[in-house]
């Protein structure tokens, strides 16, 4: 179940996390917050690096934090940027791994929703665990 209250809380968590983004190169801080089926919120920020390609997006940090604490089912992820920017392809693939129904909420720095959709809408035809033998 996905409620207005959950949406509000998730966006707020992503907004608050965003202050910890380490984005000295792009100057594009991103905050993400992931709601697990167990009701917990895991946040994440983008962490850039002087060796540019080794940086990582906020969404993947949030997913990896949650999974490394035993979570595998997710209701929704909120992503807060300056302008409601959308998750990159790699993050879409990582979110898809754990279910195609996960809701994706994109909000701007003021917390205004720019888009609410699902991960399957954002990444049709994702490569799935079922595609691998056994
Ligand atoms: N970035 C994210 O963290 N999430 C997104 O949804 C889009 C892009 C980061 C990667 C990089 O640190 C910066 O934003 C600019 O691309």
Q: Across the beta sheet with 74-80, what order do the strands follow?
A: 41-45, 31-36, 74-80, 103-107, 113-118
Answer yes or no: is the C-beta of 79 below 6 A from any ligand 1 atom. Answer: yes
Ligand 1: which of 45, 46, 107 to mutate, judged by most atoms within 8 Å of the beta carbon? 46
Of the candidates 86, 127, 129, the residue with the CA atom closest to the CA atom of residue 105: 86
Q: Are 44 and 34 in contact (CB under 8 A)?
A: yes
Cβ atoms < 10 Å from Cβ of 48 = 20
The answer, yes or no, to whether any atom of ligand 1 lies below 6 A from the CB of 48, is yes
Record the pTM: 0.97
pLDDT, one tens digit for every residue, the chain (134 residues): 899 999 999 999 999 999 999 999 999 999 999 999 999 999 999 999 999 999 999 999 999 999 999 999 999 999 999 999 999 999 999 999 999 999 999 999 999 999 999 999 999 999 999 999 97
Report the atom number in ligand 1 closest to the C-alpha of 58.
3
Residue 104 and residue 86: Cα distance in Å, rounded? 9
Residue with tokens 């992931």: 34
């Amino acid at each position: 179940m996905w409620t207005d209250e959950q949406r509000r809380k998730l966006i707020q968590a992503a907004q608050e996390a965003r202050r910890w983004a380490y984005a000295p190169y792009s100057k594009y801080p991103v905050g993400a917050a992931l709601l697990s089926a167990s009701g917990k919120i895991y946040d994440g920020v983008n962490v850039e690096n002087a060796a540019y390609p080794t940086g990582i997006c906020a969404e993947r940090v949030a997913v990896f934090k949650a999974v490394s604490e035993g979570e595998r089912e997710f209701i929704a992820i909120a992503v807060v940027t300056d302008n409601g920017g959308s998750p990159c392809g790699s993050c879409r693939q990582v979110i898809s791994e754990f279910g195609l129904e996960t809701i994706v909420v994109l909000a701007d720095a003021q917390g205004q929703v720019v888009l609410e959709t699902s991960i399957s809408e954002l990444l049709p035809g994702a490569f799935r665990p079922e595609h691998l033998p056994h």
